[in-house]
Amino acid sequence: MTIQKEIFKACDLVIYGGLGDLSRRKLIISLYRLEKGKFLEPDTRIIAVDRLAEDSASFIKIALKSLQEFLGNPVEEQIWNKFCARLSYQQMDLTRPDEYKVFNKLTDSSKRVMVNYFAVAPFLFRYICQGLKHSGVLTDSSRMVMEKPIGHDIISSKEINDVVASVFNDDQVFRIDHYLGKETVLNLLALRFANSIFTTNWDHNTIDSVQITVAEEVGIEGRWEYFDQTGQLRDMVQNHLLQILTFVAMEPPVNLEAQSIHNEKIKVLNALRPITAENVLSNTVRGQYTNGVQKDIAVPGYLEEEGANTISTTESFVALRVDIDNWRWAGVPFYLRTGKCMKYKRTEIVINFKQIPHNIFTESFKNLPANKLIIHLQPNEGIEIQMLNKIPGIDENIKLQKTKLDLSFSETFKNSRLFGGYEKLVLEAMRGNPTLFISREEIEQAWSWIDSIQDAWKATHEEAQDYPAGSWGPIASDEMLARDGRTWEE
């Protein structure tokens, strides 16, 4: 017999790790903004759970302090009053199964859906899952939301997914990649599948190469130990960059249903050509920042950061040449790069189109520059097309100039606010819409591709190359493209 799930709109949102960084910097801020936008159901409650001996009153003060620190705008009294009435705090030792019984009192499954947000280290997932199971508080409608890192390789990722699967069905599990909540990443679907100029010009016939850059200005920000065990490949490429790549490369899904989109993304991940010991030296670059200057300010190197040991070889930068072995993308390299402490914060996709086959404007350009589509994901969200136009004039010869069509989101959509990734995703998890979340298959496929790079680096003793903080990465990254006759978009 299939049990009809009861779907309520209101939620009991339980945040495990309610006093942690993610909760204070992102979740509280996003929830407050959702309150402001009137997106929270009147009956929705937010229960922060952590091990420190706070009570609800002191948690409310902590939440207000977080808003004052991280919201970026003044906290509005009216909104705050409404918001704080939803908040409560529960002290708990998450490793003790008997303590989970408290949720029988704190939540009400006859009125609200229980949404369990795991904002804690993955080793605690097992305890939370078991505790929830034994408390008997879960129903078929309950959900769980989890954050990266979902493992650090394919084995640990499977372990986490198995633990979660022992308690929650897959349709109750919402795996977050906050890049999928970014407006501009979502807009890739609209750009590609709502505009016929792109649907017909989006393959190896017209595209020469694709670049995806996620450059961060920040360094390690006090989390050296975590980062040092992770590195930029696992921290950024396994999830955010590969997700962007799947949006750029996937076939048109039949509709916007979660399953249709997951199906297309997984096909792309399956088609990634493995990077192995044979090709790792030519297709990857690892980097680590040394001290340098960013916007006229001296910044320390990776090994001089707080908490650093001086012999680490972990990469804070990675550049990759990725090939997608399918019909659409045969022969079109995707160049990916991401790093900490780079010159500017900039996330962008550059679609480099092929040169036209025959140049009749040699007076202007010996080599006609090819068109480019640049999608600025953050900051200054927008879309730019670089093209050639005739310089107006009555000269005998036609003279061309490089020009651009420039669409800035903030200019064009003046009355709309760009939502942060977390706002969108927390709301979708509360609505129970899985489209913007990642499937187990995607995560595991991404890990097995990343694992082969890690193995190849180990086998070849590939060193991290120095790059000064405030630059665009090691010279080897430029050299990798130069070998293919290309350059990074600067």
Yes or no: say if 47 and 90 are a contact pair by the CB < 8 Å rule: yes
The DSSP code sequence of 34-88 is: HHHTT-S-TT-EEEEEESS---HHHHHHHHHHHHHHHSSSPPPHHHHHHHHTTEE
- Long-range contacts, stretch 279-283, CB < 8 angstroms, 24+ apart: 280/453, 280/456, 280/457, 280/459, 280/460, 280/462, 281/460, 281/462, 282/321, 282/480, 282/483, 283/320, 283/321, 283/322, 283/480
* Marked catalytic residue, from 152, 240, 262, 376: 240
Residue 204 designated active-site: no
The 3-state DSSP class for residue 295 equals coil
For residues 54 and 216, which CB has a smaller minimum distance to ligand BG6 in the complex? 216
Residue facing ligand BG6 at closest CB distance? 235
For residues 140 and 217, which CB has a smaller minimum distance to ligand BG6 in the complex? 217
The 3-state DSSP class for residue 281 equals helix
Determine, following the binding rule CB under 6 A, whether residue 216 of this chain makes contact with ligand BG6. Answer: yes
* Contacts with 368 (C-beta within 8 Å, 6 or more apart), sequence order: 355, 356, 359, 361, 388, 400
Rounded to the nearest whole angstrom, what is the least distance from the CB of residue 395 to ligand BG6 in the complex? 47
Single-letter code of the amino acid located at 206: T
For residues 190 and 218, which CB has a smaller minimum distance to ligand BG6 in the complex? 218
Beta strands 207-215 and 284-290 are unpaired
Determine, following the binding rule CB under 6 A, whether residue 315 of this chain makes contact with ligand BG6. Answer: no
* Contacts with 321 (C-beta within 8 Å, 6 or more apart), sequence order: 282, 283, 284, 333, 334, 335, 480, 484
Determine, following the binding rule CB under 6 A, whether residue 183 of this chain makes contact with ligand BG6. Answer: no
Rounded to the nearest whole angstrom, what is the least distance from the CB of residue 373 to ligand BG6 in the complex? 21
Rounded to the nearest whole angstrom, what is the least distance from the CB of residue 225 to ligand BG6 in the complex? 13
Rounded to the nearest whole angstrom, what is the least distance from the CB of residue 222 to ligand BG6 in the complex? 12
Rounded to the nearest whole angstrom, what is the least distance from the CB of residue 490 to ligand BG6 in the complex? 19
How many residues lie near ligand BG6 (CB under 6 A)? 3
Determine, following the binding rule CB under 6 A, whether residue 235 of this chain makes contact with ligand BG6. Answer: yes
For residues 47 and 318, which CB has a smaller minimum distance to ligand BG6 in the complex? 318
Count of C-beta atoms within a 10 Å radius of residue 475: 15
Rounded to the nearest whole angstrom, what is the least distance from the CB of residue 218 to ligand BG6 in the complex? 6
For residues 181 and 253, which CB has a smaller minimum distance to ligand BG6 in the complex? 181
For residues 144 and 241, which CB has a smaller minimum distance to ligand BG6 in the complex? 241
Q: Which residues bind ligand BG6 (CB under 6 A)?
A: 216, 218, 235
Active-site positions? 240
